[in-house]
Amino acid sequence: MFYRDKLSFEDEEFKLKVGFLHFSSCSGCQVAFFDMFEEAVEILDTVELVYSNMLTKRRDLPRMDVAFVEGALCIEDPHHLHLVKELQKKAKLIVAVGGCASFGGVRRLSCGNQLPQPQHQSFVPITEVDLVKPKVKYAIPGCPPNPSLLYSFLLALLEINEDFLLPFELMTFSTRASGMDIFVEVVNKGFCVGCGTCSTACPTRAITYNYECSRPAFNPGLCVYCGSCLAACPQSFKPYPQPTYT
């Protein structure tokens, strides 16, 4: 088992220790994560929040089963360098939450490389940092990811639903994502069915729908590199079970 050495759901004491860590980010992902708990009453019994810069008081990082991480790592920030070392030591499994942590996100637009202004610094997503890479098992797209996605993800993690988790595992190998993926990965390869799901998934309207040619349209100037469009496209992956009807 990846986050517990011994797993038994019959074990009534089972509590998954989760933490939410914050690198350079707008905290939108963390807000979405806590938003999810409104709906997640049934999993509250099995999850214990051991660390969050927003909700817990402790400053040191405790040991945890799963670290949810938002934001990109700032190369110039000593606090981030310390945090990533701690993360490697204290977390059994790491989940990159949102575009910034997974694919660089809006931090890709930074014109780096010096302190103090964020737009003047340089950032890397944690999926690119070798020290923690072996532990970054999943990347979740979105800016921020929908609370309903985070909820389904956490449920899948608790139930070890590998079909559900597989695409998020594949996403960790892809350190870049953008609206251009819709063209390079789907349209250019002859797979676009013109369904419009990518445009509904885009948080910034960088992908819209072009009714003239019945295909998506991409405005690179609006893209925040979150990966939602390709992740939502039915042609990128669909290992979900078709609904079974009785």
Partner 1 sequence: MVALNSRFLLGKYREAFVVDGKGENPIKAIFTLMLKFGLIDGLLTVSKDGNSPRLIFKAEDVEIPVRNSCFGVNALLKKAVQKYRLSRLAVFGPACTFDGLNKTQYFGIGCNWTKTAVALKISFLCPGVLTDTAFLSEVVDITGKRAGVSRFYFQKGKLHYQLKTGEEITVPPSFHHRYVNSACRYCLNLSGKGTDLTAVYLKERDKVLLIVRSERGLSTLAQVQRSSPSTLYFRKADRKEVESLISFLKEKVILNITDIIERVELGFPVPKWNDNKLRKFYRLWNSIDVNSEEEVF
**Coil, strand or helix: which one is 189?**
coil
Between CA 111 and CA 120 the distance in angstroms is: 5
Between CA 72 and CA 23 the distance in angstroms is: 6
Burial string for 12-30 (b: 16+ CB within 10 Å, else e) reads eeeebbbbbbbbbbbebbb
Q: What is the per-residue binding string for ligand SF4 in 128-157, x denoting contact by CB under 6 A? A: ---------------xx-------------
CB of 55 to ligand SF4, least distance (A): 16
Q: What is the per-residue binding string for partner 1 in 28-47, x denoting contact by CB under 8 A? A: -----------x--------
Q: Which of residues 13-42 bind ligand SF4 (CB under 6 A)?
A: 25-26, 28-29
Decide: is 100 part of the binding site for partner 1 (CB under 8 A).
no
Q: Which helix (H) or strand (E) holds 78?
A: helix 78-90
The one segment of 23-31, 57-65, 71-79, 234-242 that binds partner 1 by CB under 8 A: 234-242
Report CA torsion sign: 88, 90, 92, 93. Answer: negative
Site for ligand SF4, rule CB under 6 A: 25-26, 28-29, 70-71, 98-100, 105-106, 143-144, 177-179, 182, 186-187, 192-198, 201-204, 206-207, 216, 223-229, 233-235
